[in-house]
Amino acid sequence: EVQLVESGGALVQPGGSLRLSCAASGFTFSTYGLNWVRQAPGKGLEWLTYISGGSSTIFYADSVKGRFTISRNNADKSLSLQMNSLRDEDTAVYYCASEYNYGSGFNYWGQGTQVTVSS
């Protein structure tokens, strides 16, 4: 069974940092691209960032470029999102989602982890 399990969500002050993780199982991790997607309270889904299976290709949405960093460890089957300079508007549920090929969409999703940025 495919599983993606996010962790690391917390309450953090504006300007602070947080590192999210996503643990994967049940599929050939290194052959899949991975994404982070978030959803602010009462809002729609927002794509944030993508990393290829071998980490050679990375893309960011403008809203997080320069503040967030995606990385992965294929040996551990884990994905990370380092979030710096957090703002109130970064408050959201953060999902990791896998992507088999370019254009194949987000085929597997985790259940999400809550990040709250507030003083």
- Spatial distance between the Cα atoms of 96 and 54, rounded to a whole number of angstroms: 17
Closest to another protein by CB, 10 or 59:
59
Tokens 């300007």, residue?
15
In the bound complex, what is the minimum distance in angstroms from residue 50's beta carbon to another protein? 7
- 3-state SS, one letter per residue, for 66-114: CCEEEEEECCCCEEEEEECCCCHHHCEEEEEEEECCCCCCCCEECCCEE
Closest to another protein by CB, 68 or 95:
95
Site size with another protein, rule: CB under 8 A: 24
DSSP class of residue 43 equals S
- Residues 16-35 binding another protein (CB under 8 A) are 35
Please tell me whether residue 62 binds another protein under the rule CB under 8 A: yes
> Site residues (CB under 8 A) for another protein?
35, 37, 44-47, 50, 57, 59-62, 95, 97, 102-107, 109-112
